[in-house]
Structures are given as structure tokens and as C-alpha cells.
Chains A and B, each alone.
Chain A
């Protein structure tokens, strides 16, 4: 896997595990090493305002403390929407793309349960539906990690993995 090369004037903005960030044209939001986690990318293509969250878990019932909204599918979508609208995005134009939700250690999921990755994906989709945000594209599941680079000048969402060619959503 070669290093991602940022273009001239492209400003990288790192979204850490459980975090979320919003930006405008010129920035590239990125998050590295999603396993069972899900990246939620929202975009207003006219205003070129985008938001990216690195979701860890479906909801706070799985955590010892509630923590920041980006951690959970149940709160990340609404938090991103609020921040994007504050930046000037038009809610009616915002659409979503998601990536991640892999199952890295097959034999660890409790018997009979869906993997955490699959549950994260389902929870993110539910939150998007509840917020009436259309899901345009997805690259989810499998048994490998992903990194996501979301270029806000044109909305390109690039997904890299170690043993797979780049995917553009």
C-alpha cells in the first residue's frame, strides 16, 4: 500500500477513532485503520461542506461512560448534521456514504450474534434513515481494514486497504 499523496493546497484533517470533523473545500478529512468501526461521510456538493465520523459502537449502552458523540452510530449522524448546517450546508442536499464494518477476527464474535462490524453498519443506516439522509454508496463488510480520504473540493471518497486496490465511492 503506497502512501496517500495530498495534492497542492489540499489540507489534511485527521479524524481520530471515535471522533468527528466537519470541513469545507480545500480540506481532506481522513480517518485511518477502520476495522469493525464505520466511517460516515456526509456531503453537501453545492456548498462543498462535508463531515466525517469514525464510529466505534452502535450506541452508548455498550460503554462504561457515554463519551463523545462521534463514538456511536446513534449520535454521530445528528452531531455531524448540526455542525454542517452551522457551517452553511443545506440539509436537503446532504447525502451519505459509508465504509468499514469489517469482521477482523471471525471466531471472536459470540456464537449466534452478528459481528460488531455488521451491527455498526446496521445502526449507522438506521440513524441515517431516521434523519432522512439518503445513503448513496457503501463499501462495508469483509475481513480487512480500511482507511478513508474524503476530499471536500470535489467530494471524492477514496478507500484504501492493505491487500486490495483503492476503491472510490
Chain B
């Protein structure tokens, strides 16, 4: 049985570099879309027990935006992105060029669509960086969004296919925007299926 905990600091650092490359691409795309200078970086990658994921993003019953994508191609699994209310609000306002969108009540079709677009850009950027690093084809499904309690959205997102994996990769993303004093947070969770996890582990061991 392969275990994600086999990863040492060195390997996690290698994956963090890959994630930072992805974050760089996503920042370029988001900056162009919003006409603002956005910097993204990945302060850390953690390997987290599933049961702890809900607490990692804060209060389990706090309203968040969660976007789930299926990962397809040579690597398979799921990717779940979690945006706290403040981040979701800023993304919707920046992409729609409008102020005063409240979260979650002010999120109608347009706002949800803007958020899904941003999640799509971020998710695709992370996964294409990983795909380049591994030399494998990685694709994503259309994103699916829930605005609800963090724990409810997370557990349902990572269990959507009815499989319980023990550990997930958690990539924390910080958004730095000129107009905001404090960075905004988001989490990108990658849950590779067993064979895909093995591929990732094998590659980083050689890195």
C-alpha cells in the first residue's frame, strides 16, 4: 500500500516549486482578466488527513465557496478548491468589475460563474504545471460549485466518487493584490487516485 506520508521535506519542496510555477501562470491570467496586478504564491504544501481538512480552512460550519473538478487523463482523481467568503467576494468583484457583492447571499448566476472561471484558471494552471513536471497528460472536468458550510462542501467534494482516501495534498495559495493590505487565502486540494499517487511519488523521489 502506498502512503502519501512517505514524502519527505525535500519532495514536498519539489512539489511546492511545481505549484509555484502553476501559481505564476494563474496570476498572469487573472491579472489580464481583472486588469490588476495580482501576485500568487504557495507558502506551503501539506499532507493532511481527510478528517482534518475541514478544520484546516477555519470553522467547519462557516460559509465558503468550494469548487470540485474531476482530474482526467494519465493522472486521475479529484481537485477541490476552497475559497473563504472574503476571497470569493473579491474574485467576483474583480472579475465582474463591480463593488459590494456580499457573500454568500449576493452570489447569483453571474457571480457564481465568475468564481468558477477563476477556479478553472487556478486549477488548470496547477494541474498543467504538474503535468509538465511529470510529463503526463492531465485534464480537468467542468467545475462544480457549492456555496455552503466548509465541512459539508469539503467532505462531499472529496467523497463525491464514493472513495475514501486517507490523505490529501493541500496547497495553500496566497493572493496579493495592490489594493488590499492583507493577502487573500485559498486552498487547492489534490486527491490523486491510488495509481496516480504512485506516479507522483515515483517522480518526486527522483527529483
* Chain A residues at the B interface, C-beta cutoff of 8 Å: 1, 16-19, 32-37, 56-57, 62-65, 67, 71, 102-110, 113, 116-117, 119, 143-147, 160, 162-163
Contact = CB atoms under 8 A, between A and B. Distances in A.
B108 to A, nearest CB: 13
B164 A56 contact: yes
A104 B150 contact: no
B54 A17 contact: yes
A25 B61 CA distance: 25
Contacts of A106: 144
A119 B162 contact: yes
A168 to B, nearest CB: 18
A56 to B, nearest CB: 7
B40 interface: no
Contact of A105 (B50, B146, B164): B146
Contacts of B63: 1, 162
Contacts of A145: 61, 148-149, 151-153
B61 A36 contact: no
Given A64-B1, A104-B148, A162-B63, A35 B155 contact: yes
B32 interface: no
Contacts of B159: 36, 56-57, 116
B165 interface: yes
B203 interface: no
21 contacts: A16-B51, A17-B51, A33-B54, A33-B60, A34-B152, A34-B155, A35-B151, A36-B159, A37-B152, A56-B155, A57-B164, A62-B163, A62-B164, A63-B164, A67-B164, A104-B152, A105-B160, A108-B160, A116-B159, A162-B147, A163-B104
